[in-house]
Amino acid sequence: MGPKELRELARSGKNFTTSGLAKGHVQTNVVIIPKSYAFEFTLFCIRNPKPCPIIEVMDPGEFVSSNAEGSDIRTDIPEYKIFKNGKFVEYVNDISSIWRSDFVVFLLGCSFTFENELVKNGIDLPYFENKKNVPMFITSLDTEAAGNFSGKLVVTQRWVRKDKVVKAVQATSRFPNQHGTPIKIGDSEEIGINDPYKPDFGDPWIPENQKDYIPLYWACGVTPQLVLESAKIDISITHSPGKMFVTDLNDEDMAVI
Amino acid sequence: MGPKELRELARSGKNFTTSGLAKGHVQTNVVIIPKSYAFEFTLFCIRNPKPCPIIEVMDPGEFVSSNAEGSDIRTDIPEYKIFKNGKFVEYVNDISSIWRSDFVVFLLGCSFTFENELVKNGIDLPYFENKKNVPMFITSLDTEAAGNFSGKLVVTQRWVRKDKVVKAVQATSRFPNQHGTPIKIGDSEEIGINDPYKPDFGDPWIPENQKDYIPLYWACGVTPQLVLESAKIDISITHSPGKMFVTDLNDEDMAVI
């Protein structure tokens, strides 16, 4: 199924995870907030491009992405999360009834693009085959604040065979808009990760031959979600984890080389 | 002289062009506008990253760049241009007396970084040695609008020996935040440039052995200046051409590979 068909499937009310679907097309994290917070949140993204790489910011009230023909952001995501005053209140599969003309939509890069690239380069990602989630950790590193938006950097963890570390860096270098290069190679404790087998979110990943593997950490799109919660803005809407917005963009459109 | 000393020289009232100074450090285009326009202008930059690569957007009222220790954007540029309602009104060397707490400062990438890189890669830029300006053309290509901000793409032109075109593309690929790769290789008329020897701004460049050379066009930082003028906002301030803000960032900090 292509990106347009997947958006139509979501629009019809189907609830599904988008991981692995419409291969080769860019999927994005989504944040929707009122215009009064939009400039500050944009500054936050600009200052923290690794966790919050901007793919598109729509005009206030606009719900058609210029990167997804005939799309409607109010219906084309399989599941949304609604937050009020920073607290999660409910999952819904359509936000048309609560849409406001002052809502601003942010499409932020997600890791699916570079994960495909890692796999192509011979780096195993067992959580894919095992239908598990990538391990995620809240680090001790501060993001660069913008107004009310601040918080710790969240990272994903992938164990890479030591002879594949160079390939992992090269492959992800091509995609600065999809979290880009790792922010840390090994030395988990230096970024506040005391037990690399106990993630804050997602599933633990324990490599079989530990001495041959090293954990690489990449900035994660959960970072802006936590930052949004702690900013306690009156209303914000995001996609539900793993249920992303599928654009018409090709992965290769995002590559810098 | 280092970046800090150059900023201090500008602060002391000296008027000078910054081209070729503090080699290896990132210089930037500067746009200062009231906060009421800042979100829309940020969207314009995000949508047009090649002519308007964002290096930093400061908080409203902030005049110290986080990329330039001890800096003061009100005094540290050798010369400023003041625009009122889109019309140029005067050159000044200090904007402290007209500074407002709602001013937002944009630092945008400039071509100096990639020009150094081209020279290192054996690509001649005779306008440097001849103390001339790079030729600039207003193309027929539209930028992607954001609210009131819209206009044509302005490009710089550099004649590159045909056997050096690959190198020119590779060298500038590393710097997407300094205008990045060329937007056009040859075929000037396809982007509305009917006479490649008659630039709209800067000095003409006529290569000696024309059949061995091909014109390459890069997105240019003059684009946002024209866009700002046509938006006719009540007040805006920019650096004066060639008299840039010198940051502490190293050119190599900007490289994606």
Position B130 scores a pLDDT of: 86
Position B256 scores a pLDDT of: 92
Position A183 scores a pLDDT of: 98
Question: Which residues of B, range 57-76, sit inside 8 Å of A by Cβ?
Answer: 57, 59, 66
CATH number for region A112-222: 3.30.2040.10
Residue B26 near residue B254, CB atoms below 8 Å: yes
Predicted ipTM of the assembly: 0.94
User: Where in chain A are all domains bearing CATH 3.30.2040.10?
Assistant: 112-222
**B contacts of A39 (beta carbons < 8 Å):** 35, 38-39, 42
Of A54, A146, A147, the CB nearest to B46: A54
According to CATH, the superfamily of the domain at B3-111+231-254 is PSTPO5379-like (3.40.1640.10)
CB contact under 8 A, A43 and B57: yes
Residues contacting residue A183 through CB under 8 Å, at least 6 positions apart: A50, A141, A153, A155, A191, A217, A218, A219
Mean pLDDT score, A17-34: 95
Lowest mean pLDDT among A23-27, A127-131, B105-109: A127-131
* B173: contact with A, CB 8 A cutoff: yes
> How high does pLDDT run on average in chain B?
96
User: Per-residue DSSP letters for A27-94?
Assistant: EEEEEEEEHHHHHHHHHHHHH-TTTS-EEEEPPTT--S-TTSTT--TTTSSS-EEEEETTEEEEEES-
User: Where in chain A are all domains bearing CATH 3.40.1640.10?
Assistant: 3-110+228-254
pLDDT band at A129 (very low <50, low <70, confident <90, very high): confident
User: Where in chain B are all domains bearing CATH 3.30.2040.10?
Assistant: 117-222
Supply the DSSP symbol for B121.
T
Mean pLDDT score, A172-178: 94
Position B79 scores a pLDDT of: 97
Residue B129: pLDDT above 90? no
Residue B213: pLDDT above 90? yes
Residues contacting residue B2 through CB under 8 Å, at least 6 positions apart: B22, B25
d(CA A75, CA A105): 13
User: Where in chain B are all domains bearing CATH 3.40.1640.10?
Assistant: 3-111+231-254
* B11: contact with A, CB 8 A cutoff: no
Residue A221: pLDDT above 90? yes
The domain defined by A3-110+228-254 carries CATH number 3.40.50.300: no
Position A130 scores a pLDDT of: 86
Percent of chain A residues topping a pLDDT of 70: 100
* A46: contact with B, CB 8 A cutoff: yes
Domain B117-222, CATH class in plain words: alpha beta
Judged by DSSP in three states, B47 sits in helix
Residue A22: pLDDT above 90? yes
* B45: contact with A, CB 8 A cutoff: no
* DSSP H or E run through B60: none
Query: What is the distance between the terminal CA atoms of chain A, rounded to a whole angstrom?
Result: 28
Position B128 scores a pLDDT of: 83
Cα angle B80, B82, B87; round to 5: 140
Residue B121: pLDDT above 90? yes
Mean pLDDT score, B139-154: 98
Higher pLDDT, A3 or A131: A3
Position B131 scores a pLDDT of: 85
